[in-house]
Amino acid sequence: MGILSKKDSKLILDPLADNNPITIQVLGICSALAITAELKASIVMTISVLFVLGVGNVVVSLMRNIIPPKIRIIVQLVVVAALVIIVDQVLKAFAYELSKTLSVFVGLIITNCIIMGRFEAFALGNGPWKSFLDGIGNALGYGVILIIVGFFRELLGSGTLLGIQVLGDPIAKTGLYALGYENNGFMLLSPMALITVGIIIWVQRSRNKTLIEEN
């Protein structure tokens, strides 16, 4: 990475793997369970969090020296909520179709613990540029897991990817279904998202032993 110093690129790359917010810090699990039944929803959520976390981290970082420590959590919440509401309103006025897709996610973005977590752990103690990179990195790390889980849940649960039937038609019995294959409806339910995340954690830790805790 030519433009970014080694330290800066670490801020982006670390959360993608060895310090992933979902699989290592176990943050943002709730939304990872809720919306990964479909690949498209995972992608929309990733883009939304990318924006909110990137901008929010910068705003909180700029305000870090004037925020009263006693009410910092409230201030952070206000920043996220205001940001999300403004974006939602602007989209409603100028990109109505897109806002219809996103409206369901608004509540989920505000309550996403990764966002509060990064404000609290990073933006309050670092400058705006670093905070921006940290926000982007963590949002991408979150998004990667979301997309992997969404991919498997949609493929195995509905036999589709982004709404396109890739395994044939389950009702007309074409493609794979002609051989007796059935969609696993259980994949569409939230517990299977947790199990899928668990499998990712298992794979990740067996490949990188340093991630395994002592106890």
Partner 1 sequence: MNTEKNSYTVLFAIGMVAVVGSLLAFVAGSLKPNIEENERLEKQQNILYAMGINENGEDAGGVNFISTDKVSDEFSKFIKQQLVIQGDDVTEDDQAYLIDIKKEEALAKADDYERRLPLFIGEKDGSTFYIVPMRGKGLWDAIWGYIALNDEMVVQGAYFDHAGETPGLGANIKERFFMDDFIGEHVYDGTAFKGIEVAKGNADPLNKDKTDNEVDAIAGATITGNGVAAMIKKDLRMYLPYFNSLKK
Which residues are at the interface with partner 1 (CB under 8 A)?
Answer: 34-38, 41, 44, 65-71, 74-75, 78, 82, 85-86, 89-90, 92-94, 96, 103-105, 107, 154, 163, 171, 185, 188-189
Contacts 24+ apart (CB under 8 A), 208-215: 208/18, 210/18, 211/18, 211/24
Q: Enumerate the H helices of the chain as residue ranges.
A: 6-13, 29-34, 39-62, 72-94, 96-110, 113-121, 128-158, 190-207
Q: How far is the CB of 93 from partner 1 (least distance, A)?
A: 4
Q: How far is the CB of 84 from partner 1 (least distance, A)?
A: 11
Whole-number Å distance between alpha carbons of 37 and 42: 8
Q: How far is the CB of 74 from partner 1 (least distance, A)?
A: 8
Tokens 């977590």 identify what position? 117
Comparison of 107 and 125: residue with beta carbon closer to partner 1 = 107
Whole-number Å distance between alpha carbons of 120 and 89: 27
Comparison of 144 and 193: residue with beta carbon closer to partner 1 = 193
Comparison of 40 and 205: residue with beta carbon closer to partner 1 = 40
Comparison of 85 and 199: residue with beta carbon closer to partner 1 = 85
Q: How far is the CB of 92 from partner 1 (least distance, A)?
A: 5
Comparison of 15 and 112: residue with beta carbon closer to partner 1 = 112
Q: How far is the CB of 119 from partner 1 (least distance, A)?
A: 15
Exposure string (b/e) for 43-53, b if CB count within 10 Å is 16 or more? ebbbebbbbbb
